[in-house]
Amino acid sequence: MRSGSVYDAISVRIAEDLGFEVGMFGGSAASLAILGDPDIALITLTELTEQMRRMSRAGSLPVLVDADHGYGNALNVRRTVEELEAAGAAGLTIEDTLLPAAFGEARAQLISAEEGVGKVKAALNARQDPALVIVGRTGAASITSVDDAIARAKSYEAAGVDAVMFTGLKSRAELQAASAATTLPIVLGNPTDDMDWDFLSAQRVRIAIQGHAPISAATAAVHATLKAVREGAGPKELKNLASAELTESVTRGAIVKQRGIDFLGLKK
| pLDDT of the residue at 164 | 98
Distance CA 136, CA 112 (A): 14
| pLDDT of the residue at 190 | 87
Q: Please report which helix (H) or strand (E) contains residue 188, including its range.
A: strand 186-189
What is the residue-wise DSSP string for 70-82? -SSSHHHHHHHHH
Distance CA 131, CA 147 (A): 30
Residue 205, C-beta contacts closer than 8 angstroms, at least 6 positions apart: 175, 179, 185, 186, 187, 188, 191
Instruction: Say if CB 144 and CB 152 are below 8 A apart.
Output: no
Distance CA 54, CA 61 (A): 12
Instruction: Say if CB 99 and CB 69 are below 8 A apart.
Output: yes
Distance CA 55, CA 49 (A): 10
Strands in 205-209's sheet, in edge-to-edge order, are 3-5, 22-25, 63-66, 91-95, 133-138, 163-166, 186-189, 205-209
Domain extents in the chain: 4-217, 238-267
Interior CA angle at 66 toward 65 and 69, to 5°?
Answer: 130
User: What's phi and psi for 14, nearest 5 deg?
Assistant: -65, -45
| pLDDT of the residue at 1 | 62
| pLDDT of the residue at 236 | 92
Distance CA 100, CA 94 (A): 14
Architecture label for domain 4-217: Alpha-Beta Barrel (3.20)
Maximum distance among all alpha carbons in the chain? 67
| pLDDT of the residue at 65 | 98
CB atoms near residue 131 (< 10 Å): 10
| pLDDT of the residue at 174 | 97
Instruction: Say if CB 89 and CB 115 are below 8 A apart.
Output: no
Distance CA 48, CA 25 (A): 9
| pLDDT of the residue at 58 | 95
CB atoms near residue 104 (< 10 Å): 5
Instruction: Say if CB 153 and CB 178 are below 8 A apart.
Output: yes
* pLDDT per 10-residue tile (average), the chain, 268 residues: 85 94 93 93 96 96 97 98 98 97 94 98 98 98 98 98 97 97 96 92 94 91 96 94 94 95 93
